[in-house]
Amino acid sequence: MLFPSIKKICLLDGATGTELAAAGMPAGVPPELWCLDNPEKIVGLQKRYIAAGSRIIYTPTFGANRVKLAEAGREKEVFEINRELARLSGQAVKGSGALYFGDISSAGLFVEPFGELPFDDMVTIYREQIRGLLAGGVQGLVAETLLDIQEARAVLLAAKELCDLPVFISLTLENGDRTLTGTLALSALVTVQSMGAAAFGCNCSTGPEEMTGVIRELKKYASIPLLAKPNAGLPRLENGRTVFSMGAEEFAGYAIELAKAGANFIGGCCGTSPEFISCCREKLSGVKSAAPVKNVPLLLASASSVCEINPAQGIKVIGERINPTGKKVLQAEYREGKLELAKKFAAEQEKAGADILDVNCGVPGVDEKVLLRRLTGELCLRTKLPLCIDSSSPEAVEAALRLYPGRALLNSIPAETAKMKKLLPLAKRYGAAVIALPLDNRGIPETAEKRWHLTEKILRYGEKYGISRQNFVVDVLVMAAAADGRAPQVTLESAAVIQQHGLPGVCGLSNVSFGLPERSAVNGTMLSMLAMNKLSLVIANPSDETVMKNLYAANLLTGCDAGARRYTSRYGSGGGNSTDPGRNASDILSRIKYAVIDGDSAGMPDLIAEALKSYPAQEIIDLALIPGINTVGDYFEKRKYFLPQLILSADAMRRGFDELSLPLSVSRDETGNHPALSSHGSRIVLATVEGDVHDIGKNLVGLMLKNYGFEVIDLGKNVSAAEIIAAAMANKADIIGLSALMTTTMPRMKEVVDALRREQLPVPVMIGGAAVDGNYASSIGAYYSPDAVAAVKLAEKLIGRD
Amino acid sequence: MKIHLLNNFKLPLPMDDIYRRLGRNSHLAFDPRPEKVEEIISDSARFLCFHGAWTALEITGNNGETVIFQDGTSIKDPGTAARLEGCNIALFMAATAGQGIVDARDAAMRDGDGFRAVILDAVGGECADAAVDFTEKSARRELARRGLLVKNHRFSPGYGTLELKYQQIWFALLPLAEWGVKLDEKVFVMTPEKTVTALAGLMKRG
């Protein structure tokens, strides 16, 4: 079949739903069913798009999947409805040279691992629809307005099972470069282009201006053409009619920008019409279509992040710890079907700086296929890092790769014919990158040259299965130095050979130190040596700080860390106040003060114990704890510190007071206050007003007031004015503090103030909450505090302690 | 009128919004212990359980004071009437981040861990907003292809002049009770508090 040339910009069609509504489709009716009843309308619209310049039109089958058709009770007619609607588009294009692609979209369901619908059920739903479209003679398929990478993968797998037609994948992006569910556009591109999509892009949600930036970024990594189908701006009401903010001429102007950014297929979504396409045709004539990138670097992807394997960027780390070899506890958990330890390892490795996570479930007695699939799914919810699927079982590999919502790395494929024949097709089908393992059933070759020979064998087989060499990483085969003193040298030679052939290398680093003491030192040194041969990936323990220091230093020293940014980011001094000249490590009072500022509760007992050897308790309070919390308050007011830090510091100060309670020979009173602080005896009644249940702000104010010596009577939330007044009278309150979050509950604050006036109680009222401000406070005769620190200052002022 | 359900969906944590809510929105800000805040935010994901739902009701009357819907219910509020002016259909939405995050926050507060409590509260609040955002955008997408467009940004009972008592309409229309949401019959506040109801007006493409 003819596939449009990408030397010129190829025009797609424009909006269908909004145009059909303008043509009389009643609001709320499924467009697919209306088109079946009014075929002349859709054929007429599509002919107008073709006349305007569209070279590919989409069949009116956007919602013609089983799930959406069930809303109208027509789910059993998926095949027939798709076939007939496709035939209508076939009529529209007849004789024009234009093509018609079967349109597929989201079923609105949440697919595992991010939702409850089994992935294979999603594939089945799309397979049903595609069968009908194929019967209607479509010349390609387009899945548009997709929310999630799993929808895209399900469409591609379903299509591949049935035909060889080109498949376009288009996401709808809501938050910059991500879908609503968090799929990163670049992740989706990397994944679908490795799975054989014919084009990728985005449609709907945004106008052309916003979409241009996304296309421009995607183009750098796109080995397939890109498509863009933006909206005509945003809808608004004008003289009783709904219009979009952008007209055809303006839209077409942006189409040029989209083309320059790299879009090869351009159309329109909501708000566009044949006039828009016609204007685009005029503006885009003569504009060249930018070709896809020929040599895209090797990229791995999770649903929400991308990892580039590029020697120029230095060595990246594949975290090795989710591997039961030598780990009895992990083995035991796997046997019980538990994954908690594996998930913990994932979190720890990500935090320690891993770029990719290796996942291995190979334990005798365990159903590896089931467990590896489960663990792959669970890890997708826990980490944003791409995964390296580590198994020699083709069944387990397929189960994991089929589910995985991204582009994984397959660890690994040896140069054994039987294994290559089983594993390479899986890598091809699911778009995985591959670690080539240059050994065969004769064992591990002893020389670099022989290892390269086996590598070439794997690459040749890869080509046979449609996997080009750019999709391979080669294992340089690290062996135990203690077993063979020459082994590290052969590894280094292998790494050099692989580098000369322009392929990225990977190694299982820990093997080199097996059986030796001070393993970290040996591992770290081997890593540095391999860095000289531009190794790209290392399978290692990122929690081994010696290895990581070597890695970051090696990347810096081999010119892969411009400006030493990554090195200093990891190992440079942190915290804006670490160079504060007031910090004096030799002065215990200074150390206590900064323990408060840094929020270091854990260190406080030892510091207080040390200080008590030289200073009386009251001096420690006056010269260290109070100045510390005052500095924190200052930082908070200047927006250097934010709320959680304020609380950490308050906790540290309170811990200090707890440690001083015995030397002060007093204990906390029943309200939890420190008499040392509450010597002024002022009382404040706090409440969230009636009808409001938000209380976190009030609770924090209470916390801070206690730390400053106030006796706090907290009445809780949804408290009536009468209860507040009664509590204030019963407790002889000096201040009343009120909180309200909603504009509809704010008026309750006035009720309290008015009630106080009626009772002739001269108790000042301070108010806070998202809904209130100073003007409102003044209007009702109350005082306003915007936050917990200001509340303390206000309270102290109100009792005359400022 | 069809109820569209979005059950047990997953959303990425809106990190920027969470930090902004916690007050870290200044270029001057620094954090001596960033890992402590990040750890709690990351851990909070296990307490979240998102549900959303939406439905569209025809507007059968709007005299600038009171809006009447196809099922006979009405909202007497000039602000709401103004926002829905010119609209044929009203989109009723609700979403929740679940009870778990509120329980975790309250447990932290009871334990005296204000640090953890304030972070979990911020996560819950921003995630509830993200959940209703997701619900609204799902609705917009579905409605756009039927020729219906959302007029303006959504608005919620309890803010502006739209009284909380009208949450009864949402509670009757949408399956909030199935999510474990309760409506206080006196003050019309919903619990868990990280639940959002919202309304938007729809117009047909002209």
* Three-state secondary structure readout of A484-505: CCCHHHHHHHHHHHHHHCCCCE
Statement: residue A237 has pLDDT above 80: no
- The set of residues, in sequence order, having a beta carbon less than 8 Å from that of A442 and lying 6+ positions away, is none
Q: Reduce the secondary structure of A140-161 to three states and give it as a string.
A: EEEEEEECCHHHHHHHHHHHHH
Q: What is the CA radius of gyration of chain A?
A: 33
Give the mutation candidate from A641, A694, A704, A741 for the B interface (greatest B CB count, under 10 A): A641
Give the mutation candidate from B46, B115, B129, B155 for the A interface (greatest A CB count, under 10 A): B115
Closest residue by Cα to residue A478 from A521, A549, A540: A540
Query: Regarding predicted confidence, which is higher, A476 or A573?
Result: A476
In whole angstroms, what is the distance from residue A154 CA to residue A115 CA? 14
H or E segment and range at residue A473:
strand A472-475
Residues in chain B within 8 Å Cβ distance of A769: none
How do residues A589-611 score in pLDDT, each as one tens digit? 999 999 999 888 889 999 999 99
Taking the CA of residue B163 and the nearest CA in chain A, the distance in Å comes to 6
Count Cα atoms within 13 angstroms, Cβ side, for A281: 17
Residues in chain A within 8 Å Cβ distance of B22: 642-644
- The set of residues, in sequence order, having a beta carbon less than 8 Å from that of A571 and lying 6+ positions away, is A549, A552
**Are A743 and B161 within 8 A, CB to CB?**
yes
Query: Regarding predicted confidence, which is higher, A506 or A578?
Result: A506
Angle between helices A696-707 and A788-798 (to 10 degrees): 50
Q: What is the mean pLDDT of residues A632-648?
A: 83
In whole angstroms, what is the distance from residue A122 CA to residue A118 CA? 7
Residues in chain A within 8 Å Cβ distance of B138: 108, 180
Flag whether the ipTM exceeds 0.85: no
Statement: residue A186 has pLDDT above 60: yes
Residues in chain B within 8 Å Cβ distance of A205: 137, 141
pLDDT in the model for residue A5: 57
CA dihedral defined by A250, A252, A257, A261, rounded to 10 degrees?
A: 140
Taking the CA of residue B33 and the nearest CA in chain A, the distance in Å comes to 8
**Are A108 and B142 within 8 A, CB to CB?**
yes
Taking the CA of residue A260 and the nearest CA in chain B, the distance in Å comes to 28
Neighbours of A336 (CB within 10 A): 9
Is the distance from CB of A788 to CB of A701 less than 8 angstroms? yes
Closest residue by Cα to residue A274 from A44, A33, A61, A101: A44
Task: Mean pLDDT check: name the lowest of A429-433, A488-492, B7-11.
Answer: B7-11
**Are A204 and B144 within 8 A, CB to CB?**
yes
Is the distance from CB of A138 to CB of A59 less than 8 angstroms? yes
Statement: residue A109 has pLDDT above 90: no
- How far lies A328's CA from each of A278, A324, A340, A369, A390, in Å? 68, 7, 14, 20, 18
H or E segment and range at residue B134:
helix B114-144
In whole angstroms, what is the distance from residue A645 CA to residue B115 CA? 8
In whole angstroms, what is the distance from residue A497 CA to residue A436 CA? 14
pLDDT in the model for residue A1: 37
- Which candidate from A145, A644, A742 shows the least CB-CB separation from B158? A742
Residues in chain B within 8 Å Cβ distance of A270: 144, 149
Give the mutation candidate from A106, A635, A642, A743 for the B interface (greatest B CB count, under 10 A): A642
**Are B114 and A31 within 8 A, CB to CB?**
no
Statement: residue A471 has pLDDT above 50: yes
pLDDT in the model for residue B128: 95
Cis omega (within 30 of 0) for bond into A4: no
Query: Regarding predicted confidence, which is higher, B30 or A492?
Result: A492
How do residues A737-781 score in pLDDT, each as one tens digit? 999 987 778 899 999 999 999 989 999 999 998 778 899 999 999
Statement: residue A613 has pLDDT above 50: yes
In whole angstroms, what is the distance from residue A39 CA to residue A33 CA? 10
In whole angstroms, what is the distance from residue B126 CA to residue B15 CA? 9
Query: Regarding predicted confidence, which is higher, A641 or A259?
Result: A259
Q: What is the mean pLDDT of residues A182-192?
A: 95
A10 - beta bridge partners? A265
Q: Beta strand A167-171 with A140-146: parallel, antiparallel or unpaired? A: parallel
Using CA coordinates, name the residue in chain B closest to A576: B30
Helices (H), A533-642: 545-557, 565-571, 588-598, 604-611, 617-620, 626-637
Taking the CA of residue A541 and the nearest CA in chain B, the distance in Å comes to 20
- The set of residues, in sequence order, having a beta carbon less than 8 Å from that of A732 and lying 6+ positions away, is A683
Residues in chain B within 8 Å Cβ distance of A115: 8-10
Using CA coordinates, name the residue in chain B closest to A594: B32
In whole angstroms, what is the distance from residue A768 CA to residue A774 CA? 9
How do residues A10-66 score in pLDDT, each as one tens digit? 999 999 988 898 888 887 788 999 999 999 999 999 999 999 999 999 999 999 999
Statement: residue A346 has pLDDT above 90: yes
Closest residue by Cα to residue B142 from B10, B50, B11, B4: B4
Residues in chain B within 8 Å Cβ distance of A742: 158-159, 164
- Mean pLDDT, all residues of chain A: 91
**Are A641 and B26 within 8 A, CB to CB?**
no
pLDDT in the model for residue A592: 95
One digit per residue, the tens of pLDDT, for chain B of length 206 reads 789 999 888 888 898 899 888 877 655 566 666 778 888 998 898 899 999 999 999 999 999 999 999 999 999 999 999 999 988 889 999 999 999 999 999 999 888 888 899 999 999 999 999 999 999 988 888 887 777 777 778 999 988 889 989 999 999 999 999 999 999 888 888 889 899 999 999 887 65
pLDDT in the model for residue A629: 86
Residues in chain A within 8 Å Cβ distance of B163: 744
**Are B203 and A242 within 8 A, CB to CB?**
yes
Is the distance from CB of B17 to CB of B130 less than 8 angstroms? yes
pLDDT in the model for residue A664: 57
How do residues A125-183 score in pLDDT, each as one tens digit? 999 999 999 999 999 999 999 989 999 999 999 999 999 999 999 999 976 888 888 89
Closest residue by Cα to residue B39 from A178, A344, A572: A344
Count A/B contacts: CB-CB distance under 8 Å: 200
Closest residue by Cα to residue A403 from A150, A116, A124, A155: A150
Percent of chain A at pLDDT > 90 equals 71
pLDDT confidence tier of residue A708, bands split at 50, 70 and 90:
confident
In whole angstroms, what is the distance from residue A196 CA to residue A156 CA? 8
Give the mutation candidate from B141, B159, B182, B202 for the A interface (greatest A CB count, under 10 A): B141
Tokens (6 digits) for A348? 């720890």
- Which candidate from B28, B45, B187 shows the least CB-CB separation from A718? B187
**Are A21 and B146 within 8 A, CB to CB?**
yes
Statement: residue A680 has pLDDT above 70: no
User: Phi and psi dihedrals of A113, rounded to 5?
Assistant: -85, 0
pLDDT in the model for residue A662: 63
pLDDT in the model for residue A576: 46
Closest residue by Cα to residue A8 from A292, A288, A291: A288
Tokens (6 digits) for A371? 């467990």
Q: Give the predicted TM-score (pTM) of the model.
A: 0.84
pLDDT in the model for residue B131: 95
pLDDT in the model for residue A676: 46
CA dihedral defined by A350, A353, A356, A357, rounded to 10 degrees?
A: -50
**Are A640 and B187 within 8 A, CB to CB?**
no
- Which candidate from B32, B151, B193 shows the least CB-CB separation from A598? B32
A411 - beta bridge partners? A390, A435
**Are A576 and B30 within 8 A, CB to CB?**
yes
Residues in chain A within 8 Å Cβ distance of B158: 742-745
pLDDT in the model for residue A742: 79
In whole angstroms, what is the distance from residue A473 CA to residue B84 CA? 59
In whole angstroms, what is the distance from residue A140 CA to residue A104 CA? 11
What end-to-end distance do the CA atoms of chain A give, in Å?
Answer: 84
**Are A235 and B24 within 8 A, CB to CB?**
no
Collapse the DSSP code of A544 into the 3-class scheme (helix H, G, I; strand E, B; otherwise coil) and give the result: coil
In whole angstroms, what is the distance from residue A656 CA to residue A603 CA? 10
Collapse the DSSP code of B70 into the 3-class scheme (helix H, G, I; strand E, B; otherwise coil) and give the result: coil
Q: Beta strand A298-301 with A306-309: parallel, antiparallel or unpaired? A: antiparallel
pLDDT confidence tier of residue A786, bands split at 50, 70 and 90:
confident
Residues in chain B within 8 Å Cβ distance of A181: 9-12, 134
Query: What are the CB-based long-range contacts (under 8 Å, 24+) for A659-668?
Result: A659/A604, A659/A605, A659/A608, A659/A609, A660/A608, A660/A612, A660/A617, A660/A620, A660/A621, A663/A612, A663/A616, A663/A617, A664/A617, A664/A618
pLDDT in the model for residue B206: 54
Q: What is the CA radius of gyration of chain B?
A: 18
In whole angstroms, what is the distance from residue A686 CA to residue A694 CA? 13
